[in-house]
Each structure stands twice: as structure tokens, then as C-alpha cells.
Amino acid sequence: MALKDIRMPKLGESVTEGTITTWLVKEGDYVNKYDPIAEVMTDKVNAEVPSTFSGTIKEIVV
């Protein structure tokens, strides 16, 4: 099975960085596409990062 990366989506034109405040999944969890996997805080917005695919979380790398 191929591994896929999930990258933080662009949250706005002027937002260049953010901080993951909470992981909503752990290694070994199964997620569906669009399930929230993390909460992110920026200087302009707080948002949930969705999964871009369905599958099992193999490893969380920051």
C-alpha cells in the first residue's frame, strides 16, 4: 500500500504559517476523506485540517 502525505492546506492569502494545537487522530486510526485530523491556529484563523484521503494513519510527522 502506498503512503500519502497530508499537508496543511492554504488557509488564506496572507496566512503563511500556523501551529497545530491539537491532533484529533493518532497513529493506527482509520480516517475517511474529509474527516478532521488536526486543529490549527494562525494569526488570523483557527481551523480544522481535513484528511485528503481515506485510510489508516501510519505515522504523524511534524
- Residue 28 is predicted with a pLDDT of 96
- Residue 1 is predicted with a pLDDT of 65
Domain boundaries, the chain: 1-8+16-62
pTM metric for this prediction: 0.80
Pick the CATH number of 1-8+16-62 from 2.40.50.140, 2.40.50.100, 2.40.110.20, 2.40.50.70: 2.40.50.100
Residue-wise pLDDT tens digits, 7-53? 777 777 777 788 999 999 999 999 999 999 999 998 888 889 999 99
Confidence bin at 4 (pLDDT 50/70/90):
confident
Count of CB atoms situated within 10 Å of the CB of 18: 20
